[in-house]
A and B are shown apart, each in its own frame.
Chain A
Amino acid sequence: MTTNEAAWLAVEEAPPERERLWRRLMASRSGRWGVILTAVVLGLGLLAAIGATPYDPISQRPIDRMQGPSAAYLFGTDQFGRDILSRSMAGVATSLQVAIVAVIISAVLGTTFGILSGFFGSRVRGPVNALTNILFAFPPLLLALALASVATRNWFTVAVAIAIVYIPIFVRVTRAPVLSLREADFIKAARVLGFPSQRILFRHLLPNIMPIVIVQVTLSMSWAVLTAAALSYLGLGTPPPTPALGSMVFEAKNLVAIAPWTMVAPGLVLIMFIVGLNLLGDGLRDALDPRNESHS
């Protein structure tokens, strides 16, 4: 009965899945830096969201315009005397809002279509494939630009435009594993036991592709932030006076010769945000892959 005893030991020793994942994530360098950078930027954004910025990011103080970095204004002020740090923090909050909503929409719709087209036959796969191929044919930014310029512009329509651009990625990324899982013995076994389709889809298939979806969500967040910034740089993002990282960089570009500090804060948080999310995605991908599990 040694195998049984070994099995019991294994049951007892295995730490909870979430704790193990966290440990594995923090053990890798990219995972660690991803968590730190993302946490810092998220912190800044959350502070701005609850109004805890050093100054009001919108109201103008002409007396203090175009000031360099100082104790009062850590990253200086812009041509309207607004605190660059406060505006950058508010910009993070805006792009977070846009990116989160965009990614939720594209993850939910994309994953749903991906699972359905992977699980059901060609009648579903055909149309879904055609649609994703059409969306894929356009460069993401161009498509987002076109979509964003159609509707009345506010943060939500920008989010929807970005969401549409990133739906096909989720379809592709989830469909492939569903295609192979559909043939897995435990899915066949579920059919043999008489489980209805929706139960098989949501109780058996979905949890098994969740790691892939989670990694894709993290990476898509960084793309969404970048796309949102690009749109607002081009003047099609969240409309002013709401601070947005892209439009701040655009304004700073015109002032770079006389007030180079205006570029620093928005550029820096944007880089930290995107690099952090990418590293986090990489780290999560490694941590969620059971093949990388090291037995320490």
Chain B
Amino acid sequence: MSDNLLEIEGMVVTLRSRRGDQEIVHGIDLRVQPGETLGVVGESGSGKTLTMLSVMRLLSPPLEMTHGSVHLEGLDLTALSEAEMRELRGSRVAMVYQDPMTSLNPLMRIGDQVVEAMTAHGVPKDEAWQRALATLARVEMPDPERMAKAYPHELSGGMRQRALIATALTMDPTLLIADEPTTALDVTIQRQILALVKHLSAESRMTTIWVTHDLGVIARLVDRVMVMYGGYVVEDAPVDQIFHAPQHPYTKRLLESLPNPTDDSRPPLAQIPGRPPLPSENIEGCPFRPRCDEARDACMTRPELEPREAGRAACWVPVDEWR
């Protein structure tokens, strides 16, 4: 299966400390096809961001990827030297961050920051400025010539996010990781940015991974959703199945906790009782067991991620036995 664009196998992320090591991400397997759009969903602390940072090899001590492999277009990223990896970052894999207010250098003009994203990867300077203007136009920045000369504090949040996306996309990466790129924006701007990234990735057949805690955001964006909980993948399925026939109780409860103003049969703001496990807690069996309505004796052994319907889920209890 080397026609996958991204292939993660058995990824374990460990927090090292003097008092002993703690596993935070417990063996993630993930395959992403070229051109596919994947959503990675989970609560804070579910390990979704750590997984993506490990792909870019940007974990810094005391966090470390201790097991597993990452292949990008057949290239083993874990075997690359730091210099080779740096060459890859920003050129073949790009990442868009959550907070456009602080992710731009306050002392550099927008255009220079886009230019720098190219010159760092060997694009000659005189060519880079023209390309930066073209990229700013691609992210639908009004009047790119003028905006390129502006400083970040002179732009609105939405414009800054566009500028940030421009720095990420200007080298035409094959893989874009969008880590909650709209969290800091208001809802109307959020929609614009989502539509923009969707349009851009479709246009250049760029594989995109959306990392978010908001199922509502990705419903119309992605082909497939991977649900993470407590450092495990609990479900991985096509987006339709996730929304209409979830195979894991956690996914079901996540969906139920989405506010739904048209459905009167449910409380307006449902929640999942309890809290996500801390990395230091060693929950026996299924990590979701303490909060799960369906939990039974079998759940004291940890379920593996196994094929279910069109996707994969890690649950002992078949859907038709759910309460």
Do the two chains bind? yes
Chain A residues engaging chain B, CB cutoff 8 angstroms: 1, 3-4, 6-8, 10-11, 14, 121, 184-186, 188-196, 199, 203-204, 207-208
Q: Which residues of B contact A195 (CB under 8 A)?
A: 86, 90, 116, 120
Known: A1-B142, A11-B149. A186 touches B102 (CB 8 A): yes
A23 to B151, CA, bound (A): 20
| Interface SS, A side | helix
Known: A194-B121, A204-B105. A7 touches B154 (CB 8 A): yes
Q: When the two chains form their complex, are residues B156 and A4 in contact, meaning their CB atoms are under 8 A apart?
A: yes
Q: When the two chains form their complex, are residues B94 and A192 in contact, meaning their CB atoms are under 8 A apart?
A: yes
Q: When the two chains form their complex, are residues A193 and B120 in contact, meaning their CB atoms are under 8 A apart?
A: yes
A192 to B99, CA, bound (A): 14
Q: When the two chains form their complex, are residues B97 and A189 in contact, meaning their CB atoms are under 8 A apart?
A: yes
Q: When the two chains form their complex, are residues A203 and B90 in contact, meaning their CB atoms are under 8 A apart?
A: no
A-B CB contact pairs (8 Å), 29 listed = A1-B142, A3-B156, A3-B159, A4-B143, A6-B156, A7-B150, A7-B154, A8-B143, A10-B154, A11-B146, A11-B149, A185-B99, A185-B102, A185-B103, A186-B102, A188-B58, A188-B103, A189-B97, A189-B104, A192-B56, A192-B90, A192-B168, A193-B90, A193-B168, A194-B87, A194-B91, A194-B120, A195-B90, A195-B116
Q: When the two chains form their complex, are residues B167 and A193 in contact, meaning their CB atoms are under 8 A apart?
A: yes
Q: Which parts of B66-105 form the interface with A (CB within 8 Å)?
A: 86-91, 94-95, 97, 99, 102-105
Let me know if B269 is at the binding interface, CB within 8 A.
no
Known: A196-B86, A199-B120. A186 touches B149 (CB 8 A): no
Identify the closest chain A residue to B87 (Cβ): A194
Q: When the two chains form their complex, are residues A193 and B159 in contact, meaning their CB atoms are under 8 A apart?
A: no
A26 to B123, CA, bound (A): 43
Q: Which residues of B contact A7 (CB under 8 A)?
A: 147, 150, 154-156, 159
Q: Which parts of B149-172 form the interface with A (CB within 8 Å)?
A: 149-151, 154-156, 158-159, 164, 167-168
Q: When the two chains form their complex, are residues B89 and A191 in contact, meaning their CB atoms are under 8 A apart?
A: yes
A186 to B105, CA, bound (A): 5
Q: Which residues of B contact A8 (CB under 8 A)?
A: 143, 146
A207 to B116, CA, bound (A): 15
Let me know if B61 is at the binding interface, CB within 8 A.
yes
Q: How far is the CB of A10 from chain B (nearest CB, A)?
A: 4
Q: When the two chains form their complex, are residues A208 and B107 in contact, meaning their CB atoms are under 8 A apart?
A: yes
Let me know if B106 is at the binding interface, CB within 8 A.
yes
Q: When the two chains form their complex, are residues B107 and A189 in contact, meaning their CB atoms are under 8 A apart?
A: no
A198 to B102, CA, bound (A): 21
Q: Which residues of B contact A199 (CB under 8 A)?
A: 120
Q: Which residues of A contact B58 (CB under 8 A)?
A: 188, 191-192
Known: A11-B149, A14-B154. A4 touches B142 (CB 8 A): yes
Q: Which residues of A contact B99 (CB under 8 A)?
A: 185
A188 to B86, CA, bound (A): 13
Q: Mark B95-138 against chain A: 1 for CB-CB distance below 8 A, else 0.
A: 10101001111111000000011001100000000000000000
A184 to B146, CA, bound (A): 27
Residues of B within 8 Å of A, CB-based: how many? 39
Q: How far is the CB of A87 from chain B (nearest CB, A)?
A: 45
Q: How far is the CB of B172 from chain A (nearest CB, A)?
A: 14
Q: When the two chains form their complex, are residues A4 and B120 in contact, meaning their CB atoms are under 8 A apart?
A: no
A291 to B44, CA, bound (A): 32
A55 to B19, CA, bound (A): 74
A190 to B89, CA, bound (A): 10
Q: Which residues of A contact B61 (CB under 8 A)?
A: 121
Q: Which parts of B20-58 form the interface with A (CB within 8 Å)?
A: 56, 58
List 9 tightest A-B contacts by C-beta distance, closest first: A194-B89, A193-B90, A194-B90, A3-B156, A185-B103, A185-B102, A10-B154, A192-B95, A189-B103
Q: How far is the CB of A186 from chain B (nearest CB, A)?
A: 5
Known: A189-B97, A193-B120, A203-B116. A184 touches B102 (CB 8 A): yes
Q: Which residues of A contact B102 (CB under 8 A)?
A: 184-186
A22 to B82, CA, bound (A): 44
Q: Which residues of A contact B103 (CB under 8 A)?
A: 185-186, 188-189
Identify the closest chain B residue to A6 (Cβ): B156
A47 to B193, CA, bound (A): 62
- Known A4-B159, A193-B90, A195-B90; 12 more pairs at CB < 8 Å: A4-B142, A7-B154, A184-B102, A185-B97, A185-B99, A186-B105, A189-B103, A192-B168, A194-B89, A194-B120, A196-B86, A199-B120
Q: Which residues of B contact A208 (CB under 8 A)?
A: 105-107
Q: Which residues of A contact B120 (CB under 8 A)?
A: 193-196, 199
Identify the closest chain B residue to A189 (Cβ): B103
Residue among B56, B61, B105, B155 facing the most chain A CB atoms (10 A cut-off): B105
Other-chain residue from B91, B158, B167 in contact with A189 (beta carbon distance below 8 A): B167
Q: Which residues of A contact B97 (CB under 8 A)?
A: 185, 188-189, 192
Identify the closest chain A residue to B91 (Cβ): A194
Q: How far is the CB of A257 from chain B (nearest CB, A)?
A: 58
Q: How far is the CB of A209 from chain B (nearest CB, A)?
A: 11
Q: When the two chains form their complex, are residues B150 and A11 in contact, meaning their CB atoms are under 8 A apart?
A: yes
A203 to B108, CA, bound (A): 9
Q: When the two chains form their complex, are residues A207 and B107 in contact, meaning their CB atoms are under 8 A apart?
A: yes
Other-chain residue from A6, A11, A186, A207 in contact with B104 (beta carbon distance below 8 A): A186
